[in-house]
Amino acid sequence: MHIPVLLKETIEILEPKENENFVDATFGEGGHSLEILKYTEPNGKILALEWDPELYKLGVEKIKKLKMEKRIKLVNKNFKNLKRIVKEEGFSQIKGVVFDLGISSWHYEKSGRGFSFKYDEPLDMRINPKIKITAFEIVNYYSYKDLVEIFRNYGEEKEAERVAEEIVRRRKVKKIESSQELAKIVLQAKRFKKKKIHPATQVFMALRTFINGELENLKKGIKSAYDVLDQGGKIVVISFQGLEDKVIKEVFKLLKEKGAEIITKNVIRPDKEEIFKNPKARSAKLRALKKP
Ligand SMILES: C[S@@+](CC[C@H](N)C(=O)[O-])C[C@H]1O[C@@H](n2cnc3c(N)ncnc32)[C@H](O)[C@@H]1O
């Protein structure tokens, strides 16, 4: 089960009220959507997006089981096209949009796509199977130079060269097939290992971010969200890595020039109690803005 992150803070900012409409750009297992719906009874609606087709199917079943079909419409689409999707769905009077970035606990624990080095799974890492490249193809066929760039630009990996070198050396002997094989290679290649996180964390993050175009989606998604918001509407973005936060700050700055009010002068982070209950929340950051 995915534990929704910074849920209380999201609600405090969005201030959902009776019969208001919201967009959940990243439905996942529905934590944020279901909480918002409690405040928007009886007729407030949510348009929710989930790009992963398997998680989307599970979401549709969940909504049916909870008899919430009249109040949540879940679509299997990418939030980068939010403006078009909102139009296609005829959704309007949007008071807020939530982005809870990254992937769900389900991806790590159940998808079988090699997102985690906790399990030995094929190197896939696609959120949606329509994406053309997999982690296997990148790791086994991309040039040394491209690997270095991906690890550095999408994962801020300081030892990108050493890791890429080791990958290229090892794949000449045998193709790198699984998440744990890759994690071991990274572990052997790196000289400096942080105590708190596994040494392969940044390389896995880089591959996932690159494959799924996560930074590009984010840029387009926030801009689209701003366009569809009602006056006085808000955008909440919860991110988990520095590169995402950088993109959010850049787009917020652009929107501020258009008149948006930045609500979070200082970034909001989970309190000690939340981190204690859910250690995965420790790197979360929340930023929010309001459309005038
Ligand atoms: C951190 S989870 C959201 C968790 C959710 N708030 C909850 O409480 O269950 C992020 C979700 O967004 C989905 N996702 C990632 N990129 C997306 C995109 N570009 N468009 C739509 N959904 C996306 C992922 O598949 C994942 O399920």
> Which of 126, 127, 280, when mutated, tests ligand 1's pocket best, judged by the most ligand atoms within 8 Å of its CB?
127
Number of H helices, E strands in the chain: 13, 7
In sequence order, what E strands does the chain have?
A: 21-24, 46-49, 72-75, 94-100, 229-239, 261-262, 285-290
Supply the pLDDT for residue 68.
97
What are 105-109's contacts with CB under 8 Å, separation 24+? 105/1, 105/2, 105/3, 105/29, 105/280, 106/2, 106/28, 106/29, 106/55, 106/58, 107/52, 107/55
Cα 252 from Cα 287, distance rounded (Å): 9
Q: Are 100 and 28 in contact (CB under 8 A)?
A: yes
Residue 262: φ, ψ to 5°: -80, 120
Supply the pLDDT for residue 197.
82
Atom of ligand 1 nearest to the CA of 49: 21
Cβ < 6 A, ligand 1 pocket = 2, 4, 26, 28-32, 49-52, 55, 78-80, 100, 102-104, 127, 217
Q: 175 CA distance to ligand 1 centroid (A)?
A: 31
Supply the pLDDT for residue 280.
87
Query: Which stretches in the chain have pLDDT values below 50?
Result: none
Supply the pLDDT for residue 196.
75
Domains and CATH numbers, the chain: 7-106+215-290 (3.40.50.150), 132-211 (1.10.150.170)
Helix (H, G, I), strand (E, B) or coil at 199: coil
Supply the pLDDT for residue 218.
98
Q: Are 47 and 92 in contact (CB under 8 A)?
A: no
Atom of ligand 1 nearest to the CA of 221: 19
Q: What's the order of all strands across the beta sheet hosting 21-24?
A: 72-75, 46-49, 21-24, 94-100, 229-239, 285-290, 261-262
Q: 73 CA distance to ligand 1 centroid (A)?
A: 15
Helix (H, G, I), strand (E, B) or coil at 195: coil
Residues 202-247: tens digit of each pLDDT:
999 999 999 999 999 999 999 999 999 999 999 999 999 999 999 9
Residues 56-75: tens digit of each pLDDT:
999 999 999 999 999 999 99
Supply the pLDDT for residue 47.
98
> Which of 104, 239, 274, when mutated, tests ligand 1's pocket best, judged by the most ligand atoms within 8 Å of its CB?
104
Q: 116 CA distance to ligand 1 centroid (A)?
A: 16
Residues 6+ apart with CB under 8 A from 288: 13, 234, 235, 236, 237, 262, 263, 264, 268
